[in-house]
Structure 1
Amino acid sequence: NYVLQTSFSDYINKKRIEYATRLITTQPEMPVTDIAYDSGFASLNSFYRNFKNINGCSPKVYMRKVDTT
């Protein structure tokens, strides 16, 4: 997309990961599988790949960071 300087699928995945990040922060006891599917991802592989690309770490590492703060 010219305005957003990104493809539609990249934009949607970014929004999904933002939602997943909020879930991890507000509901740290929620299993990663539930977070992935609740965020709109059809596969865990896709969720993990996109999460790491956007946040620079895996969901489990991110959860540990949130847990220690």
Structure 2
Amino acid sequence: MLNDLNTNENRLDKALHYDGFSGFRDFINFHRLQYFKEQARLQKDLSVKELMFMSGFTSRSSFYRYFANVEKMSPGEYMDMLHAENK
């Protein structure tokens, strides 16, 4: 990937930090979380677990921790909020 971007690891890390990410994993997880939230709105029949795997998360505990840290609520609370908005 670094070759495709014509950069090195140090430059990429600095760019990610400049954009507010703690590193590459944080950048990836941020985009996975955005995808999760988008799909949760579009595919209301799927469970948190199905959406989690679909979004690229492989560890339930890591996903729940990251989600709660960013969204200040659990994935289940987020899903309940979405369902309440659509009633």
Please report the TM-score for the alignment, with normalisation by the length of structure 2.
0.73
Q: Tell me which structure has the larger Cα radius of gyration.
A: 2
Alignment RMSD, CA only? 1.0
Gaps of 5+ in 1: none
**What whole-Å deviation, never above 9, does each CA across 1:15-56 have from its counterpart, x for those lacking one?**
001100111111122011111111111111111111111111
Which of structure 1's runs of 4+ aligned residues deviate more than 3 A?
A: none
Matched-pair contact (CA < 8 Å) for 1:17–1:39: yes
Paired residue total: 69
1: distance between equivalents of 2:45 and 2:74? 16
| Percent pairwise identity | 33
Asked whether 1:24 is paired with 2:40, we answer: yes
**What whole-Å deviation, never above 9, does each CA across 1:50-69 have from its counterpart, x for those lacking one?**
11111111111001111111
Gaps of 5+ in 2: 1-12
